[in-house]
Amino acid sequence: MVTPVKQANKERAGLVPARLMASVSLMSVLLFGGCYDADLSELQRSLDAHEVVVGDAAVPVAATEPVLEATAVYLFEGERSPFEMPRVSSGARRAEYSGIAPDHGRRAEPLEAFALTELMLVGTLMFDGKSSALVRDPVNRVHRLSIGSHLGADFGRITEITPSAVRLVETVPSAGGWVERVRILTLGDSSNR
């Protein structure tokens, strides 16, 4: 049994797609109908009427010739192509075999997991004639270090401890090898030079 409500719903369901199709067709005609113009002769006449002024003479646009400038001269013909790898000079080769290299065989110490900028010198101690440095890590743990201890991500090794600073030498990669770089942690300074 078909009720009047079901009958009305069926009629509406059939009308919606038909109305939708009619709307889409009308929009397509209006949208794309304005893009067609078979008579381009007026546009061509308008373009032909324009002239370009070169110096004192007016020259029609269609009659202009491209102006060729002098070609550039490549001055680096005998040099290495910028698309080739540079050759290793004898100086760089010597740096590679200078003996400076981090010891990858030793066990890493806890503070080598952090960048030097994340560490802070919070104090120094002198006990039995030996200096120690107190360094805080990013998780607020304080570590007691001595000369020869390692810290920082660049293979830093402590070489000197004074009452207000810690001097360390980092081993960093360089072109063709490794170089040593001196860094200083000062008391209470987190910027680390």
Q: Which domains does the chain have, with CATH numbers?
A: 110-186 (2.30.30.830)
Q: What is the pLDDT of residue 191?
A: 58
| Half-sphere exposure in the Cβ direction for 16 (13 Å, CA) | 6
Between the alpha carbon of residue 48 and those of residues 38, 56, 58, 61, the distances in Å are: 19, 20, 13, 7
Between the alpha carbon of residue 149 and those of residues 41, 95, 108, 167, 171, the distances in Å are: 87, 25, 10, 11, 14
Model confidence pLDDT, tens digit, residues 28-53? 766 666 555 566 777 777 766 665 55
3-state secondary structure (DSSP) of residue 47: helix
- Rounded Cα distance, 162 and 124, in Å: 8
- Rounded Cα distance, 61 and 51, in Å: 5
Local confidence band at 174 (pLDDT 50, 70, 90 cut-offs): confident
Q: 68 in the Ramachandran plot: left (φ > 0), alpha (ψ -120 to 50) or beta?
A: beta
- pTM score: 0.49
Model confidence pLDDT, tens digit, residues 108-153? 999 999 999 999 999 999 888 899 999 999 999 999 999 999 999 9
